[in-house]
């Protein structure tokens, strides 16, 4: 007779295996796990069709692998035990730490570019794929880092002219040329870089951050709207919400981001007033 404790036992074991696999993602040990799954499938098939010799060989091979795993993958196993000791078995905490790390990298890069008055456009991809934009650009598919972003936009480098496109894990491409906005009501003080940032947000749901080399300020373009003179804390909150999203286009992320954007609209309205004053002068 099957008892409820049997189901509980199986559920606990399945949960532990699932969490262990999450810790092994993006490590060399994950390749071993994939290999073991393949060998296990072959062994099960061999036993099912009564291939005795193959079953015997695979059985001995598994015995050797069990002994070799602690030796070959000692660094990965140690890291996994350290993660367990710190209580990071929950994937959510790891995701939060990763989001914070990426936020710091991009924020530091933007602040450095602003301090040096180096122009830049960073486009953050969401639901709408931007392959048509980066297909003809320089594909990088690299880790997001402050040094890489600053190097790309440094004056005189081959990739500084154009935008970079990022998603929540990688810097996809550089030297991307964006479509200009079709909004003819913009002030003439809005330059080409800002018009390009607005243009990409009009044809997609992407978010763009622009560093102005003339004014040394950072602006946000999203959904065809532009907010200028963003502070560092505002940039950090926006990026943290972006990188913290569990799945692309998840509704909680979008709703939270809209709340954050409400704090930016007064800046945009103030910029309109400045533009009117500039026109009058």
Q: Is the pLDDT of residue 156 over 60?
A: yes
Q: Is the pLDDT of residue 111 over 90?
A: yes
pLDDT band at 90 (very low <50, low <70, confident <90, very high): low
Mean residue pLDDT of the chain comes to: 78
Provide φ and ψ at 168, rounded to 5°.
-80, 0
- How many other CB atoms sit within 10 Å of the CB of residue 39? 14
- How many other CB atoms sit within 10 Å of the CB of residue 175? 19
Q: What is the DSSP letter of 129?
A: -
Tokens of 118: 């180096």
For residue 77, give every residue at least 6 positions away whose Cβ sits within 8 Å of its Cβ, in sequence order, or none.
29, 69, 70
The pLDDT value recorded for residue 66 is: 76
Query: Could you tell me the pTM of the whole model?
Result: 0.60
For residue 46, give every residue at least 6 positions away whose Cβ sits within 8 Å of its Cβ, in sequence order, or none.
54, 55, 58
**CA 92 to CA 192: how far, in whole Å?**
40
Closest by CA position to 215, among listed 191, 239, 234:
191
Closest by CA position to 208, among listed 191, 225, 186:
225
Q: Is the pLDDT of residue 29 over 70?
A: no
Question: Measured between alpha carbons, how far is residue 153 from residues 81, 192, 211 in Å?
Answer: 40, 16, 10
Query: What mean pLDDT do residues 123-143 have?
Result: 87
pLDDT band at 39 (very low <50, low <70, confident <90, very high): confident
């Amino acid at each position: 007779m099957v008892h409820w404790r049997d189901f509980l036992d199986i559920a606990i074991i399945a949960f532990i295996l699932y969490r262990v696999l999450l810790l092994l993602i993006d490590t060399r040990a994950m390749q071993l796990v994939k290999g073991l799954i393949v060998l296990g499938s072959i062994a099960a098939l061999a036993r099912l069709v009564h291939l005795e010799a193959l079953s015997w060989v695979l059985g001995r091979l598994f015995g050797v692998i069990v002994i070799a795993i602690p030796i070959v993958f000692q660094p990965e196993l140690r890291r996994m035990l350290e993660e367990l000791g710190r209580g990071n078995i929950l994937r959510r905490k790891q995701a939060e730490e990763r989001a914070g790390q990426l936020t710091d990298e991009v924020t530091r890069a933007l602040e450095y570019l602003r301090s040096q008055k180096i122009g830049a456009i960073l486009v953050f991809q969401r639901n709408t794929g931007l392959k048509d934009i980066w297909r003809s650009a320089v594909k990088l598919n690299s880790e997001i880092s402050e040094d890489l972003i600053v190097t790309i936009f440094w004056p005189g480098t081959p990739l500084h002219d154009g935008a970079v496109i990022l998603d929540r894990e990688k810097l996809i491409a550089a030297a991307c040329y964006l479509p200009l906005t079709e909004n003819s009501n913009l002030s003439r003080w809005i330059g080409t870089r800002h018009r390009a940032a607005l243009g990409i947000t009009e044809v997609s749901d992407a978010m763009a951050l622009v560093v102005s080399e003339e004014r040394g300020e950072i602006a946000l373009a999203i959904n065809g709207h532009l907010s200028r003179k963003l502070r560092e804390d505002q940039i950090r909150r926006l990026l943290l919400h972006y990188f913290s999203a569990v799945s692309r286009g998840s509704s909680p992320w979008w709703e939270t981001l809209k709340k954050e954007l409400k704090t930016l609209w007064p800046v945009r309205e103030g910029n309109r007033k400045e533009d009117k004053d500039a026109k009058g002068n």
